[in-house]
Structure 1
Amino acid sequence: MKKILVICGTGVATSTMVASSIKDHLASQGIDAQISQGKVMDLVNGTPDVDLIVATTAVPDTVTVPVVAGLAFLTGIGQDAALAEVVSHLQ
């Protein structure tokens, strides 16, 4: 099972919205993934054990896993492309 970490500034409201959108899309595609939420400060001490990070804020340069920009999930602009990018990283 693939693991996704959704990161925002505080790890609460914004990441919840993004995680929900991703979960719904992956379910419709038949992709099983574990989605967790966190705040950007969680990345300061190193890269967590995940396959992908979706971030609505800047992440430290030390992060070594793929990062998908998550702003599209909040604005709706480019959301289909962002979802396609998420799926491509999980395959």
Structure 2
Amino acid sequence: MKKTVLVACGAGIATSTVVCDRVENLLKDNNIPAEVVQCKISEVASRQEGADLIVSTTILPTTYTIPSEIATAYITGIGMEALDQKIINHLKN
């Protein structure tokens, strides 16, 4: 079954593009069928229904009904493999 991942950042442009590319490649490499949707943090609440995971480049302003991961590792380059594994674990269930 195809998963949906929301990739969110403050403006929905720069940092989320980097994270989007990383997540798309990660899912492809691990044969996880998924749609990666880039959006603004302010749009996450309205888009969470039907999604499986939120990957955010910034601290989320609230809690959501689906799991979330902060993608700082993809921006700083520190701890990327650990974050890769967390994302895979969320989506393989």
Verify same fold: TM over 0.5: yes
Percent of aligned pairs sharing the same letter: 37
1:59 alignment counterpart: 60
Distance 1:41 1:76, change over 3 A: same
1:14 alignment counterpart: 15
Superposed CA deviations along residues 1-22 of structure 1, whole A, max 9, x for unmatched, are 0000001010011111001011
Work out the CA distance in 2 between the residues paired with 1:66 and 1:52. 5
Tell me if structure 1 keeps the 8 A contact 2:6–2:44. Answer: no
Runs of 4+ in 1 over 6 A off after TM superposition: none
Flag structure 1 segments of 5+ consecutive residues without an equivalent. none
Deviation of the 1:46 alpha carbon: 6.9
Quote the RMSD (CA, aligned, Å).
Answer: 1.5
1:2 alignment counterpart: 3
Deviation of the 1:48 alpha carbon: 3.9
Which secondary structure state, in structure 2, belongs to the residue aligned with residue 6 of structure 1?
strand
Q: TM-score, normalized by length of structure 1?
A: 0.91
Deviation of the 1:31 alpha carbon: 1.3
Kindly indicate whether residue 43 of structure 2 is the aligned counterpart of residue 42 of structure 1: yes
Which secondary structure state, in structure 2, belongs to the residue aligned with residue 63 of structure 1?
coil
